[in-house]
Structure 1
Amino acid sequence: MTKYLVVGTGLFGAVFAHEAAKRGHEVTLIDKRDHIAGNIYTKEIDGIQVHQYGAHIFHTSDKEVWEYVQQFAEFNRYTNSPVANYKGHMYNLPFNMNTFAQMWGVRTPQEAMDKINEQRAE
């Protein structure tokens, strides 16, 4: 059996400690805060999940990673779809063909590239 001292219980420290303990190793955790999870710490206040250090979004396309994190917490379905307000008009971010069609009326990637090159030249 190996003895580990884990300093910092954010994502890496907490996962490492969990996996090491599952394998029978002795793990001691220390953190300057009075909780685990680092900046993704969430606490419940009056039935509401409060992200104490600011909102956080966990996303992955890796099925194994998704299944792993699901054992620790229930995640809400969320799709990040940011927009920009420019001169009173709303545009999709990151820029895509829909954005270029809204801004310039172009319909093809080549038309969008031509418009971008035109603006660069200016």
Structure 2
Amino acid sequence: MSQYDYLVVGAGLSGAVFANAARRAGKSVLVIDRRDHIAGNVYTEDVEGIQVHRYGAHIFHTSMKDVWDYVNRFAEFNNYVNSPVANFRGSMYNMPFNMNTFAKMWPGVVT
């Protein structure tokens, strides 16, 4: 049986980043995962030329240039900013809802 410096259980984002950093530092790494692919819940698969999120859509957020540059070495990301809103009786409200949202929607009822 081979010896490894590290055993990484799970090939999601954290496991994959650690395994990559350890290998770049000259360490031997064994990565195991119960799934047959890397990337955990952010895994995408090609379906007729379209990248489909197998486990539901995910958005990667960072304002750190070094992190952005790092992740773009492995996959192509766009600079999408998720800013959902809801239209309630002609007024726009940011989502997700919080107590401030409800207070604006029903003044005097929610405090």
Query: How many pairs align?
Result: 103
What is the rounded CA distance, in whole Å, between the counterparts of 1:77 and 1:60 in structure 2? 10
Q: TM (normalized to structure 1)?
A: 0.72
Whether contact under 8 Å (1:81, 1:92) holds in the other structure is no
Q: Percent identity?
A: 56
Q: Show structure 2 runs of 5+ residues with no match.
A: none
CA–CA distance in structure 1, aligned partners of residues 78 and 67 of structure 2: 16
CA distance in structure 2 between the partners assigned to 1:120 and 1:93 by the alignment: 17
- 4+ residue runs of structure 1 moved beyond 6 angstroms? none
**TM-score between both structures, scaled by the size of structure 2:** 0.79
Deviations along 1:34-61, one digit per CA (max 9) or x if unpaired, are 0011101111111001000000000101
What CA deviation, in whole Å up to 9, does each residue of 1:17-76 have, x standing for no partner?
Answer: 011011111100100100011101111111001000000000101111111111011112
Higher helix share: 1
Q: Which residue of 1 aligns with 2:94?
A: 93
Root-mean-square deviation (CA), in Å?
Answer: 2.6
Q: Aligned equivalents of 2:50 and 2:110: distance in 1?
A: 48
Query: d(CA) in 2 for partners of 1:8 and 1:93?
Result: 35
Partner of 1:61: 63
If asked which structure has higher relative contact order (CA below 8 Å, sep 6+), I would say: 2
Amino acid of the structure 2 residue aligned with 1:91: M
